[in-house]
Structure 1
Amino acid sequence: MLAASWAPLSPAERAVAIEVLTHGPVSRTEIARKLNLSAGSLTRLTKPLLEAGLLIEGPAPVSAGAGVGVGVGAAEAPVARQGRPSQPLDIVADSRYFAGFKITEDTAYGVVTTLRSEVVADRAVPLRTRDPEDVADLVQEMTEDFRAEFPRLAGIGVGIGGQVERLARTVTFSSYLGWQEVPFADLVEQRTGLPVVVENDVAALVESEAWFGAGRGLDRFVVLTIGAGIGYGLVIGGRLVRAGGGDRGIGRRWIINPYGPLTPDGERGSAVSLLTVSNIRYQVAAGTGRDHTYEEILALAAAGDPLASRVMDEAARALGTVVAQIANFAMPEKILLAGEGIGLMDIASPAVWSAVDANRDPLAEPVVLETKVSDFNDWARGAAVLAIQILVLGRPRE
């Protein structure tokens, strides 16, 4: 069911739509300059989007998502050959809503966003089982609850820790859920009647930040997540670089210290062994004989506990080394650090930056590192952005 899509749109029409969506309100003059269009061509390209009620001329009405974007002054120069002053174009943010879901090994986190990805509702429901049919039933139930409040729900995005292929429809492998070759998009579409896209959860988060967040407008941008695993996404020229590897990721064999800890998950001294929440907890438990939550370990380290401090200091040096290596080889304009393990920066940022400096040429450009305190709703919001992309692009991004 693709009735909610803007398709069929030409590539030029889509370029205009994306520009307004991610940067609006924006003047016609600025759009024409950035996309190398004449005033007449721009008028022709925007006409179907204005008629569909998805774009609006002039100051946009105040809505749930109107606060995001770049403002345009009222004294904008007139567009050539137009008989009236140029008016900014903007998205009608609440003309459509989108559901996004992050499926973990025990919980389904769901959000509803506007067309500009601002979250207007959220809900978390424990999984009854990990059976794909049962999880699809749960997504349907949550979607119906959302649709009762937001009847203009136009699409669904689902983020899963795993490998997703076949035009963002099939989960080929997920160790967290125990799935192989699960056509999860089809299962949810059959139940909801809405367009559905399924994607690796890190890729969804990267797309969200590239379109609406920390990477907006940047040519080279990296997202690095630490938490249950190590997530990495690289954007070049505004597009996510696609790579295989699934949810096993690169962190298990990304060796930071060959003499580092040996843990149940990942090679000795790998990024996964040093940085993931489960392995940090494992190291502390091995030394104390009792289990601690990640938050308890952070508190112990902050209070000067010798074992917790040693483990977190080693993790901080590993994080700084990873950041430096990314900066050395990918040369991004910004690195966004996110995930449930981000609390490491609160207690050990000097050690992180010391490791960054130790692994960078002294004459290299400074690393721009932004941290984002995030929860599972942020991951679900990333999945909703995938559904927004379907609306704009008419298909999942290949």
Structure 2
Amino acid sequence: MLAASWAPLSPAERAVAIEVLTHGPVSRSEIARKLSLSAGSLTRLTKPLIESGLLVEDPPPAASASASAAPATRQGRPSQPLDVVADSRFFAGFKITEDTVYGVVTNLRSDVVATRALPLRTHEPVDVADLLHAMTTDFAAEFPRLAGIGVGIGGHVIGPARAVTSSFLGWDGAPFADLLEQRTDLPVVVENDVAALVESEAWFGAGRGLDRFAVLTIGAGIGYGLVIGGQLVRSGDDGRGIGRRWIVNPQGPLTPDGDRGSAVSLLSIPSIRYQVAAATGQNHTYDEILTLAAAGDPMPARVIDEAARALGTVVAQIANFAMPQKILLAGEGVGLVEVATPAINEAIAANRHPLAEPVALETKISDFNDWARGAAVLAIQILVLGRPKTAR
């Protein structure tokens, strides 16, 4: 299968396309104002984007019956907002976990139009690439205008997504993007899964339109991403597992994964389950622990209360040092917020200046399809709009 993509966009065309993609339908005057363009320049830039099928001019609102009965008086050219042709291309996104591959197809607006999950029976890069190839082939049969593939992995990605190091997959510099491109003949981008989720939320979700935006994910581990100036802050430490050494309480619990009192030891789902099992001798699921804590069962309640105070402390630290306009809590573990909101708020207040502005906190329970959608957004960004890759 071959990618059907637009011609490379110039920086100015790219800026217009991104503005319409993330905020459309949007008027020409609003685009010109935001991008400091003259009407003539905007017309010149949008013409090839419309001709390529990337953008479309929405028809002006239809006149009402009463208005149509009256003599028409037109004042200049009617406003025709610009929008993307959402179904002009589709994108496959994959989230690889230790035992399952979750796949989605999105349109150009990142709306999920298909999902699939298959068991991962081997971690050999070649075998994983074969599995994603098979899933992509199935997707392409239903969506022939598939334009690219994004893959999110919990790990460290080096350079332009060519080499992947992931402890849970046992990969050390695996050339996974190349392996998948060779099989699919589609452009592939591989990225740390948290970075993919942050990009998705920055473009199409909770962080859209914000200059400073942070994401904290709670699940099998702890993830963190920061957007400044509308751009994801990149680092050579991306995917290294910062939560294992993010010390929240030096006297906190010691768990198999993460230093004593670290964000991972206090907040991750495996660590919370480990603490309850070690204290009670019973192996509960995370949801069961939350239910028991809410019902006042002493040991689960103590563990969840400690986790909640750790979460509030981490949120306050992010607010104090990064000063984001909003912090999004995402991941499979954020059910903690519903059970222990008072303890979280107390910890935030205890670690903030008394006159500090309230932290704008939003919560989103993310399933693995959300993570896969984040990977598809990377494909939209880099493979279609030509967003420059940041050197690391």
Q: If the TM-score is normalised by the length of the shorter chain, which range does it land in? A: over 0.9
Q: Give aligned-pair identity as a percent.
A: 81
The equivalences for 1:1-398 within 5 A come to 4-59=4-59, 84-171=77-164, 173-394=165-386, 397-398=389-390
Distance 1:395 1:190 in 2: 22
CA deviation map 1:156-201 (0-9, x unaligned): 0000000002212321x10111101111111111111111000000
TM-score, scaled to structure 1: 0.92
Write out per-residue CA displacement over residues 98-121 of structure 1, whole angstroms, 9 at most, x where no aligned residue.
000000011000000010000000
Return the alpha-carbon distance in structure 2 between the equivalents of residues 166 and 6 of structure 1.
24
Counterpart of 2:100, as a letter, is T
Maintained 8 Å contact 1:6/1:391: no
Alpha-carbon distance between aligned partners in 2 of 1:217 and 1:28, rounded to the nearest angstrom: 18
**Alignment partner of 2:265: what SS?**
helix
- Please give the alpha-carbon distance, in whole angstroms, between the structure 2 residues aligned to 1:25 and 1:312: 44
* Unmatched 5+ stretches in structure 1: 61-81
> Is the partner of 1:113 in helix, strand or coil?
strand
Cα distance change, pair 194–395 in 1 and its aligned pair in 2 (3 A): farther
Q: What amino acid is aligned across from residue 139 of structure 1 in structure 2?
A: L
Q: Under a length normalisation based on structure 2, what TM-score does the superposition of the two structures give? A: 0.93
Please give the alpha-carbon distance, in whole angstroms, between the structure 1 residues aligned to 2:17 and 2:225: 24
Q: For 1:135 and 1:396, how far apart are their aligned partners in 2?
A: 27
Write the distance in 2 (CA, Å) between the matches of 1:248 and 1:336: 21
Does the 8 Å contact 1:222/1:335 carry over to 2?
yes
1:162–1:32 CA distance, 2 compared to 1 (3 A) = same
Q: Distance in 1 between matches of 2:153 and 2:286?
A: 23
Deviations 1:192-216 (CA, angstroms, capped at 9, x unpaired): 1111000000000000000000000
Q: How far did residue 7 of structure 1 move?
A: 4.0
Report SS of the residue matched to 1:372: strand
Moved more, 158-167 or 289-298: 289-298
Counterpart contact for 2:104–2:113, Cα < 8 Å: yes
Q: Which amino acid aligns with 1:168?
A: A
- Deviation of 1:86 after TM superposition, in Å, equals 2.5
* Number of aligned residue pairs: 377
2-structure distance, mates of 1:339, 1:197: 22
The one-letter code matched in structure 1 to 2:149 is I
SS in 2 for 1:247: coil
Separation in structure 1 between the aligned mates of residue 351 and residue 386 of structure 2, nearest angstrom: 43
- What whole-Å deviation, never above 9, does each CA across 1:57-108 have from its counterpart, x for those lacking one? 0249xxxxxxxxxxxxxxxxxxxxx962231000000000000000001100
Q: Which moved more, 1:118-127 or 1:247-256?
A: 247-256
For residue 375 of structure 1, report the CA deviation from its aligned partner.
Answer: 0.1
CA distance in 2, matches of 1:233, 1:395: 19
Whether the 8 Å CA contact 1:18–1:392 is kept in 2: the answer is no
Moved more, 1-10 or 145-154: 1-10
For residue 361 of structure 1, give the secondary structure of its aligned residue in structure 2: coil
TM-superposed deviation, 1:272 = 0.7
- Aligned-pair distance for 1:397? 2.5
Structure 2: unaligned runs, 5 residues or longer: 61-74
Compared CA separation, residues 396 and 34, structure 1 to 2 (3 A): closer
Secondary structure of the structure 2 residue equivalent to 1:215:
coil
Asked whether the equivalents of residues 5 and 392 of structure 1 are also in contact (C-alpha less than 8 Å), the reply is: yes
Query: 2: CA distance between counterparts of 1:148 and 1:192?
Result: 13
**CA 1:285–1:3 in structure 2 vs 1: closer, same or farther (change >3 Å)?**
closer
